[in-house]
Structure 1
Amino acid sequence: MTAVLPSIPGARDTPAPAAFRAVQVLEYLGSRTEPATLTEVALALGIAKSSASNLVSTLEVARMVRRAGHGWVLGYKVLELGQSMLASTTLVAEFRRITNALPTLQNDTALLAALDGMEVIYLARHDGRQPIRLASDIGRRMPASVTALGKAMLASLTPEDLDRRLADVTVLPRPTKRAHRTTVELRRDLAQVRERGYAIDDEQNTIGVTCFAVPVVATGQPIAVSTTLLTQRVRPELRGRLIADLTSLARQLATFANG
Structure 2
Amino acid sequence: MNEVRSLREVESRSPAVTRAVAVLEEVARSRDPLGVSALARRLGLAKSTIANLCTALETTGMVRRVGDGWLLGYKIYELGEQFRAGTDLVAEFERLAARLPVASAETLLLAVLDGTEVVYLGRHGGRQPVRLACDTGLRMPAVVTALGKAMLAQLPWRECESRLKSIRELPMRTESSHTTIAAVRADIEEARCRGYGIDNGENIEGISCFSVAIPGRMEPPTAVSVTLLSSRATPEHTAALVADLNVLAGELSRLVDLEHRERSR
What range describes the TM-score normalised by the shorter chain of this pair?
over 0.9
Q: CA deviation at 1:10?
A: 5.2
In structure 2, what is the equivalent of residue 101 of structure 1?
A: 99
In structure 1, what is the equivalent of residue 222 of structure 2?
A: 223
Aligned-partner Cα distance in 2 for 1:207–1:5: 27
Report whether the alignment pairs 1:204 with 2:181: no
| Contact 2:209 2:226 (8 Å CA) reproduced | yes
Decide whether aligned partners of structure 1 residues 7 and 49 sit closer, same or farther in structure 2, where only a CA change above 3 A counts: closer
SS in 1 for 2:98: helix
| Contact 2:7 2:19 (8 Å CA) reproduced | no
Report whether the alignment pairs 1:247 with 2:236: no
RCO higher in structure (CA 8 A, sep ≥6): 2
Report whether the alignment pairs 1:238 with 2:263: no
Counterpart of 1:177 in structure 2: which amino acid?
E
In structure 2, what is the equivalent of residue 55 of structure 1?
A: 53
- Deviating runs (4+, > 4 A) in structure 1? 8-11
Report whether the alignment pairs 1:152 with 2:150: yes
Task: Note the 1:119-130 alignment, pairs <5 A.
Answer: 119-130=117-128
In structure 1, what is the equivalent of residue 263 of structure 2?
A: none
Which stretch has the larger CA shift, 169-178 or 61-70? 169-178
Aligned-partner Cα distance in 2 for 1:115–1:9: 25
Matching residue within 171, 174, 179 for 2:172? 174
Q: Which runs of 5+ in 1 are unaligned?
A: none
Decide whether aligned partners of structure 1 residues 5 and 155 sit closer, same or farther in structure 2, where only a CA change above 3 A counts: closer
Counterpart of 1:165 in structure 2: which amino acid?
R
Decide whether aligned partners of structure 1 residues 139 and 168 sit closer, same or farther in structure 2, where only a CA change above 3 A counts: same
SS in 2 for 1:20: helix
Counterpart of 1:169 in structure 2: which amino acid?
I
SS in 1 for 2:240: helix
Report whether the alignment pairs 1:91 with 2:89: yes
Identity %: 46
In structure 2, what is the equivalent of residue 25 of structure 1?
A: 23
In structure 1, what is the equivalent of residue 129 of structure 2?
A: 131
Counterpart of 1:130 in structure 2: which amino acid?
Q
Aligned-partner Cα distance in 1 for 2:132–2:40: 37
Q: CA deviation at 1:8?
A: 5.3
Counterpart of 1:7 in structure 2: which amino acid?
S
Q: CA deviation at 1:48?
A: 2.0
- Deviations along 1:181-239, one digit per CA (max 9) or x if unpaired, are 11111111111111111111111111111111111113211111000011111122211
SS in 2 for 1:142: strand
| Contact 1:171 1:182 (8 Å CA) reproduced | no
Q: CA deviation at 1:139?
A: 0.6
Name the Cα RMSD after superposition: 1.5
- Deviations along 1:138-162, one digit per CA (max 9) or x if unpaired, are 1111111111111111111101111
SS in 2 for 1:113: strand
Q: CA deviation at 1:9?
A: 6.5
In structure 2, what is the equivalent of residue 68 of structure 1?
A: 66
Q: CA deviation at 1:71?
A: 1.0
Q: What is the number of equivalent residue pairs in this alignment?
A: 255
Q: Which runs of 5+ in 2 are unaligned?
A: 259-265
Decide whether aligned partners of structure 1 residues 86 and 34 sit closer, same or farther in structure 2, where only a CA change above 3 A counts: same
Aligned-partner Cα distance in 1 for 2:6–2:162: 16
Q: CA deviation at 1:171?
A: 2.6
Q: CA deviation at 1:5?
A: 4.4
In structure 2, what is the equivalent of residue 34 of structure 1?
A: 32
Q: CA deviation at 1:15?
A: 2.6
Q: CA deviation at 1:42?
A: 2.1
In structure 1, what is the equivalent of residue 189 of structure 2?
A: 191
